[in-house]
Structure 1
Amino acid sequence: MPLGVAFQLRDDMLGVFGDPSVTGKPSGDDLREGKRTVLIGLARQKMPPTAVRVLDELLGDSSLDDAQVRMLQNTVRDSGAADQVERIIAHNVRVAREALENAPLSASARAELSELADRVTRREA
């Protein structure tokens, strides 16, 4: 379960900050789609009311241009929400690894699952 949470949070980060050459989606695609992710929720909690109004007004606008996407990305990043999500991802990966260490599995199965944890949570942005 914690690895699944970490995976989803990483996916949410990539949906806002991801490199299109890696993700195959335009940068900021989740902003254009208006996805209300944990990242966006945390950003809204941390931002001043005027910034929240701008975010709410632009979030989900499929015609956002690159400059507007960069502005929203910077606003989310500056709120501290991205750093907080990274900490939540790291915590969930630690919990998953602890569970893996205590699981009744062979060493090779543990190694494979550990590699899987790295791949799904450290995908490039």
Structure 2
Amino acid sequence: MSATLSWLDLTSSDREKFRGILDLFSEQGTVDELGLGSLRDAFSDALFPGTSVLHTRLRYVLFVPWLYQALEHRGAGGDVVDAARKKEVELIDHLAATGEDGVIGVQARASLVRLPSSVYWFALSRWGTCVHQQE
């Protein structure tokens, strides 16, 4: 259902006032005027560590580590970043071919900027699933 708004336009000053009011509705940003955002984030991380509203598909918590394990066992060699990107795009293609819902990057495919792994890295490291090892 869409909202409608109508008014009788009498003067140019009335029109400008009304346009100013309408411009207030077009602002896209949010403001944490009371400063409660950091408190909310602290509670969220304490109660649900590593989770985010971006995590809508739990399957990536398994797929991302499996991809990197496969690269490690195969010995990706030089450019792990490019090899991992290629594997993630292949994963998108496979999931899309099976008709799965909610596949990250199903429309952009190879031109995808934010890969599934970038969304899930924090959760994976927080839960101890993927750990960075120093050599």
Which TM bucket (shorter chain)?
under 0.3
For the pair shown, which has the larger CA radius of gyration, 1 or 2? 2
Give the structure with the larger helix fraction. 1
* TM-score normalised to structure 2 length: 0.26
Higher relative contact order (CA 8 A, sep 6+): 1
* TM-score normalised to structure 1 length: 0.27
